[in-house]
Amino acid sequence: SVLDRINKVEEKVKAFVTVTGEQALEQAREIDEKRARGEAMSPLAGIPMAMKDNICTKGVTTTCASKILYNFVPPYNATVTEKLLEAGTILLGKCNMDEFAMGSSNENSGFFPTRNPHDLSAVPGGSSGGAAAAVAADEAVFTLGSDTGGSIRQPAAFCGVVGLKPTYGYVPRYGLIAYASSLDQIGPLTKDITDCALVLNVIAGHDPKDSTSAPVEVPDFTRYLVDDVKGLKIGIPKEYMGEGIDPRIAAYLKQAAAKLEELGAVCEEVSLPHTEYALPAYYIIASAEASSNLARYDGVRYGLRVEAEDVISMFCKTRSQGFGEEVKRRIMLGTYALSSGYYDAYYLKALKVRTLIKRDFDQAFLKYDCLLTPTSPTTAFKFGEKVNDPLAMYLSDVCTIPINLAGVPGLSLPFGTVEGLPVGIQFIGKPFGEGTLLRVGYALE
């Protein structure tokens, strides 16, 4: 029925780069047989899901929505893919995204843009726009996305679904094609908080194949699905409520705070004074790491190769034709920030700012169990509105980026609509404090 649904709406929504079709049905039949034999099954067995196209799937094309990887078929599964397949979920296909996860609207996809199922003239957000739209359009029960600066949460908000960026190191990144390795995290996009907890149960946990994976015990997240927020202290950072935030979104945030107070939580204003420096620091750090990570696409090892008279021209032609505008912009910015003479002034400075931002959060979490902010300053915008103005586009992640710089978890929860388009509110937690985020989300939804 999910494949039928894909056939029906995909022409309009365009959430998928690849649909597995027959392969998915084959997998489903195997699950049916196991069930018929009475084999023990995980709670997710038989659930159809999809993955952002930067998560490696053995034998299934993984393109990062880039022409440079248009034909790349991974010989191995990402750890999250492996875990989900072991749990019996069914891979329906791979979701569209901004090329190499750089963007906030899906307009940077090297293939075609995904549309917002709530309004086809609006963007689904990005970079996990396809993954969010697929869930919102009932083309998958859940999807996995990746979030470097907001790429799970902002599209979740724009498409009206739940999106979680876990604590850095909680979910293994082995097999996630790297954008900015110190910021990237994989996380679920789901219809509700219960599904989010169930998926997190499968994908979180230490992985010896990922050296940044945290060696911590993972609880059963469903135990946080209790309608009880009594005594929780929730901070509302004033820096996230000011200029640039749509007042109607700010009003919803106040409504959410009032409801939480009614349920017994305490909400107070708090300050995170270095917030305004997060965006510039992020774009230096993320571009620097991207320029290094993307050096491997040279026409030799993966994907596209444009033949040329000698090897240097082959590198140049392959990269010139294979990468899109935004990716090239990031590679140039990052290379510049890392070059000798500019390293101290830009890259090192950005790292120091990152520490200050992290300390703001450490300080706030001495007093508060979690923080509440908008997920994005606006609801989904129209195609073309920001595509020629990179700075305006970068601003749509202003509420989500600091969370990646600090490495803490963030959850976007749908909360009302403005002119028919979904609004998302964001809960930010202590490191490994996902349980608290699920608890407040569950109480509010």
What residues line the site for ligand GLN (CB under 6 A)? 101-104, 127, 147-151, 179, 286, 397
What span, in angstroms and rounded, lies between the C-alpha atoms of 130 and 83? Answer: 22
CB-wise, 179 or 432, nearer to ligand GLN? 179
H/E stretch holding 268: strand 266-270
Length of the chain: 445
Q: Quick check: 281 and 337 in contact, CB under 8 A?
A: no
Q: Quick check: 107 and 117 in contact, CB under 8 A?
A: no
**Options 14, 52, 83, 165, the catalytic residue:** 52
CB-wise, 195 or 397, nearer to ligand GLN? 397
Smallest separation (angstroms) from ligand GLN to the CB of 147: 5
Give 166's DSSP letter: P
What is the residue type of 86? E
Q: 3-class DSSP state for residue 203? A: helix
Instruction: Confirm whether 127 is a catalytic residue.
Output: yes
Smallest separation (angstroms) from ligand GLN to the CB of 61: 20
Instruction: Confirm whether 151 is a catalytic residue.
Output: yes
**Options 105, 128, 151, 291, the catalytic residue:** 151
Residue 104 neighbours by CB under 8 Å, 6+ apart: 98, 125, 126, 127, 150, 151, 154, 386, 393, 394, 396, 397
CB-wise, 107 or 369, nearer to ligand GLN? 107
What span, in angstroms and rounded, lies between the C-alpha atoms of 149 and 167? Answer: 13
Tokens of 445: 């939804």
Smallest separation (angstroms) from ligand GLN to the CB of 290: 8
Smallest separation (angstroms) from ligand GLN to the CB of 163: 11
Give the up-direction half-sphere exposure of residue 349: CA atoms within 13 A in the CB hemisphere: 13
How many other CB atoms are found less than 10 A from the CB of residue 96? Answer: 30
Residue sitting closest to ligand GLN (CB)? 151
Q: Quick check: 167 and 408 in contact, CB under 8 A?
A: yes
Smallest separation (angstroms) from ligand GLN to the CB of 330: 8
Residue 126 neighbours by CB under 8 Å, 6+ apart: 97, 98, 103, 104, 105, 106, 107, 108, 151, 154, 155
CB-wise, 146 or 318, nearer to ligand GLN? 146
CB-wise, 3 or 401, nearer to ligand GLN? 401
CB-wise, 101 or 421, nearer to ligand GLN? 101
H-type alpha helices, 368-428? 390-395, 401-406
**Options 104, 105, 109, 127, the catalytic residue:** 127
Instruction: Confirm whether 339 is a catalytic residue.
Output: no
CB-wise, 15 or 444, nearer to ligand GLN? 15
Q: Which of 50, 20, 195 is nearest to 114 (CA)?
A: 50
- Burial label, 344 (beta-carbon count in 10 A; 0-12, 13-18, 19+): exposed
Smallest separation (angstroms) from ligand GLN to the CB of 179: 6
- Residues annotated as catalytic (active site), given as ranges: 52, 127, 151
